[in-house]
Amino acid sequence: MQTINHLNLLRKAVADLRKSGRVALVPTMGALHFGHLTLMREARRHADHVVASIFVNPRQFAAGEDLDAYPRQLAADQAALESEGVALLWAPTVEEMYPAGFSTNVGVSGVSEGLCGAARPGHFDGVATVVLKLFNQVAPDVALFGEKDWQQLAVIRRMARDLDLTAPHADAIIGVPTVREEDGLARSSRNAYLTPQERADAVALPRAMRAAAAEIAGGAPVADALARMEQAVLAGGFASVDYAQVCDADTLVPLTTRGTGPARLLAAARIGKARLIDNMDVPAA
């Protein structure tokens, strides 16, 4: 596996890979866990060569968030990627990604404004900006993202449609189902912030979400099911619930009734030093 830190070298290396097949891109911020490696394996099903990126993007962290504390473990991540058959690791510095004088911001209205967008102003502008740069730098045939951050996936797909991207096309931006621990907690780099007791308590979030999704699919009023879910999460050891909403799966417009189209239950809650997010499908009744 090649590890590349400079854009001119990246473009040459990707061009060489493209001579022998399709290229998939899996963007990450490092601190890789089994969920990330599942993305790499899925990418190998869609392309001949996998390019992974590791870049802790400062533009998606608001003031007071955990940029400095975000886990960085490049050597371990390199070994994990190599073991998964990744062909190339793109690991730019901040100066390489945002050179002196950088002044462009990409914003995606609507889909980025509620949920985590409301709690973290500017976050999805930072995501859209860096992902568009990564797409332009690698020009992949296909790109893969985890469904764990459903809003992020929706923002990226909307951006690709609106800007008529072709490398990758919006239909080639693939969401990979959330990887969970045996007890149901979604795997996340931020789980490392949890103490043993907080980790044991954290399962209250997916457990309450599953119950709410089943209630709503069974015809229960959305507001009542969400209220019971929030009570269960707080009783389970969480300090607060940032949001719990049922939304249209594509537009993320909040739904007051289940309806017939695809719907998603999305939630964020705080426990200890961690803010955990999760989402689940809400089947039609």
Amino acid 133 reads K
- Give yes or no: 123 in active site: no
Which tokens belong to 192? Answer: 């490392």
Instruction: Give the contacts of 45 (CB within 8 A, at least 6 positions apart).
Output: none
d(CA 131, CA 133) in angstroms, rounded, equals 5
d(CA 91, CA 52) in angstroms, rounded, equals 9
**C-alpha R_g of the chain:** 19
Torsion of CA 1, 90, 181, 254, to 10 degrees: -150
| Backbone phi and psi for residue 189, each to the nearest 5 degrees, phi listed first | -60, -30
Among 36, 49, 123, 169, the active-site one is: 36
Q: Is the distance from CB of 267 to CB of 278 less than 8 angstroms?
A: yes
- Which secondary structure element, helix H or strand E, spans residue 187, and what is its range? none
Tell me which residues are annotated as active site: 36
